[in-house]
Amino acid sequence: MIQLIPAIDVIEGRCVRLSKGDYGQRKVYDASPLDMAKAYEQAGVKRLHLVDLDGAKAGGPQNLKTLEQIASVTALEIEFGGGIKGTDALQAVFEYGATYAIAGSVAAREPELFEQWLVAYGPSRMILGADLRDGKVSVNGWKEDMDLTIDDLIGHFPAVTQIICTDISRDGMLQGPAFELYKDLQGRYPAIDFTVSGGISSMKDIEHLNEEGLRKVIIGKAIYENRITLKDIERWLLSE
């Protein structure tokens, strides 16, 4: 059964959602990140996707207090991404309570450093973030596209066991995920757990991904826009 991982994207300590990663197309929601995290936990969720959008833009984590709050009040496993560009930042993310750290830009631009992290912290804690626009890897908060494919990226890191793959063109658009992309990746790299990210619009999308053998999926805007409710999530988790 595919694992549901709700997302909380944070700017200045508040829950937001972007469209296609565009900071100019942001929507701010009333619920606090902590309240959302507690609601997810109450619904039976085990793992949370927490993104520091300020950090992604600034090149260093900016919302560690939000991470600390959620980690100290809930028992959720937290995967944290956004601005992890150096070892000090990575250590801080773990010290403030993250279970997993997501690194995308570093993996693409400084593969030797990411390889060091895989050795030091283990592939069970390090997640490779592969954000794709038109088939190419995008870095630095999706502001810069590189001449690098996801296969190129995976080829650098044979030890990687977890990859979050985001289709930027679909992120926040509620138009459904790139089913064929994820089915293809999971089929070609069975030893890796791919997390689907971008475009989830309904429980039907999740059912389809589950049928295709995908293992993890991030749900963001669909929850805030009531396309998927906490009750839907609770029912899915109870059926596992």
Q: Give the N- to C-terminal CA distance of the chain in Å, as an integer.
A: 6
Contact 3, 217 (CB under 8 A): yes
Helix, coil or strand: residue 35: helix
Q: Which residues pair with 85 in a beta bridge?
A: none
What the block records as the tokens of 179 is 């089913």
Residues tagged active-site: 9, 131
Q: How far apart are CA 12 and CA 91, in angstroms?
A: 21
> Which one, of 106, 82, 93, 110, lies nearest residue 21 by Cα?
82
Q: What gap in Å lies between CA 71 and CA 37, rounded to an integer?
A: 9
Both structure tokens of 161: 């066991």
**Which of 106, 130, 133 has the alpha carbon at shortest distance from 118?**
106
